[in-house]
Structure 1
C-alpha cells in the first residue's frame, strides 16, 4: 500500500515473481499491478530486472526490492527528481533497517546511506533495493544476467564510464528488511564477492584483509553499541555477523568454479516480511503501515 499512497500518480506497477509459494500473488491481486513471471531455475537479479523492464512502459524505471517498503508518500517524487538533469543515469534512496535486522547491518545502512544528498557522487556505488534508472540507457546496456549479485554496481560503473552521473537521494527513504540467519548472511556475502571478482577481476581480498576488516568493523560496532547502552546484548551478535561477513567475502574471492544449479539454488531467495520502522529526520508525515498490508 505504500506505492498506492504515493503523491506521484502517473505510474504503473509490475511485480517480477520467480515462483513464490507464500501469499505474494494473492496480495498483489488486490492492487492494480501486473505480474511478470520468471522460472526460479533461471533466476538471477539481473535477469529478473531485465524481464521486468522489458514489460514496463515508462521512461524511468523505479526498482524496489521485495524486502523493502517506502517510508514517505513522496518517495517516488524524490527518487525521480534528479532526472531533471539529463546527465543523471541512476538515482538511489536511503535505506534503514527494521527491528529484525542484525545490529551490524544497521551500521552498514547508517554509513552507506547518509542523510546528506549527493546529486553527482564520484564513485559508481548504487543499490537496486531502492533505485531508479533512465530506461533509454538500459536499452543501450541491460543488466548483466550472469553475475551472482552486484548487477547494480556493474551497471552504474558502465554509466559512469559513459559520462553519466549517479544521484544519492536520502529523502527517497525505504526500510530494508532482513531476517537472515548467520548462515544466510555468510551466503549473501560469499555470493556478492563472487560477483565482485567477476566485475573487477583485478580486485583481491586476502586473509590479511579479512582479519583487518573483521577487527576494524567489530570495534566500530561495539563502540556504537556501547553508546546505545546495549554492548553486552549485541556483543556476540556483532562478532558473529562480522566474522561470517568477511569470511564469506574471502571465500567468494577464492571461488573459481562454475555457478551450477546447486550453487544457484543456495545463493538466492532470502526471506523477508513486513515490519514497522518510522525514521524521524523528515517533516512530512510517514506512511502508516499495518500488519495486514
Structure 2
C-alpha cells in the first residue's frame, strides 16, 4: 500500500478475452515497488477466463454490454468505479518492463499543475518490426516533463482524478479518446509529462485485417478531433513507399531484413490503407461498423450481453 504522504492510485484495465495476456500484466504489477491501492477491470463481454483471472488477483470487476462499448465509455465507467486520486490506465495486453514502472509514472503528479502522465511503450519478440519502429518514433528515450502537444496513449497513462471529474472521456469517438482529452486538458491550463522510464511492453499480435481496422477507426476519430486533417490516396501511397524503404534500411542495419521482408510491406499497407479509408469516412459510424471496429469476428452482441454493473 502507499504511504500516507502519497496519493492513492487505481489501475483501470479495459479487456475483452485477454486471458492469454493478463497473467503477464498482473505478475508485473505484483513486482512493483509502489503497489496500487485498487485494480479495476472493465470487461466488455469476455467468454474466456479474463474475469476469473482478474478476480483471483483482487480486481474489482465492472461490466459493460458489448453493444454499449466504446473506448471512452468503458474508460469512464472504470474511472467512476475507481477510488484513487490518480487513475492509471493500462491495456490488458501490456506488461511493465521493470519494478519501477508505477512509481515513475506517478511521480510527475508531485507537481500540482500536472494532470496527465504517460510512459514509454515498446514490444517484445511477438511485435512486428514496423510496429516497433512506430513505438520508437512515438515514445523516445528522453523524458519530457512539460510536453506542449496533446499526444499520449491510454495503454500506459495516468490522469489526476479531479481533472477527469471536470471532463470525462468522449464516448462517441472510435479511438484517440486519450488525445482528445489531453488536448482539452492543455487548453484548461494543465500540464502533460512524458516519462521514458515508465516503460511497458505493448503486445499487438495482429494480422492484416485487424491492423487495417485499427488504423481506420483511429483515422475516423482523428478527423473528428482535427477537422482540417486530410489524407489523399496519392499521399497514402507515397507514405507507404517511404516507410517501407525506411523500415527495410533499419531492418538491414539490425540484420533482421530477411525475416521481415514480407511483414514490413504488409504492415505498412494495412496501416495506410486503413488510415486512408478512415479519413474518407463521412457521417455517423453505423452499429455494424462499430461491431467490426471493437469486436473480432465470431463474437455476438446478443450472446455476450452483460448488465453494466459492478461486482467485487
TM-score when normalising by structure 1: 0.90
Q: CA deviation at 1:9?
A: 2.8
Superposition RMSD in Å: 1.3
- Aligned residue for 1:166, secondary structure, equals strand
2:302 corresponds to: none
1:12 corresponds to: 38
1:82 corresponds to: 108
1:50 corresponds to: 76
| Greater CA drift, 182-191 or 228-237 | 228-237
Which of 176, 181, 190 is matched with 2:202 structurally?
176
Asked if residue 133 in structure 1 is aligned to residue 146 in structure 2, the reply is no
Task: Say if 1:270 and 1:107 are closer, same or farther in 2 by CA, change over 3 A.
Answer: farther
1:38 corresponds to: 64
Task: Say if 1:32 and 1:240 are closer, same or farther in 2 by CA, change over 3 A.
Answer: same
Check conservation: 1:92, 1:132, Cα contact below 8 A: yes
Separation in structure 1 between the aligned mates of residue 95 and residue 35 of structure 2, nearest angstrom: 17
- Aligned residue for 1:3, secondary structure, equals helix
Structure 1 portions without partners, runs of 5+ = 272-293
Check conservation: 1:180, 1:270, Cα contact below 8 A: no
In the TM superposition, what are the counterparts of 1:144-183 in structure 2 within 5 Å?
144-183=170-209
Runs of 4+ off more than 6 Å: none
What do the CA deviations read for 1:96-150 (whole angstroms, capped 9, x no partner)? Answer: 1122221100101111111111101121100000000011111111000000000
Check conservation: 2:29, 2:35, Cα contact below 8 A: no
Check conservation: 1:98, 1:178, Cα contact below 8 A: no
TM-score when normalising by structure 2: 0.84
1:246 corresponds to: 272
Separation in structure 2 between the aligned mates of residue 25 and residue 106 of structure 1, nearest angstrom: 30
Count of residues in Structure 1 that have an aligned counterpart in Structure 2: 271
Separation in structure 1 between the aligned mates of residue 271 and residue 296 of structure 2, nearest angstrom: 15
Separation in structure 1 between the aligned mates of residue 174 and residue 259 of structure 2, nearest angstrom: 34
Q: CA deviation at 1:270?
A: 6.2
Separation in structure 1 between the aligned mates of residue 165 and residue 180 of structure 2, nearest angstrom: 15
Separation in structure 1 between the aligned mates of residue 218 and residue 194 of structure 2, nearest angstrom: 22
What do the CA deviations read for 1:141-199 (whole angstroms, capped 9, x no partner)? Answer: 10000000000000011111112111110111101011111110001000100000111
| Greater CA drift, 250-259 or 261-270 | 261-270
Q: CA deviation at 1:69?
A: 1.1
Check conservation: 2:116, 2:159, Cα contact below 8 A: yes
Asked if residue 92 in structure 1 is aligned to residue 118 in structure 2, the reply is yes
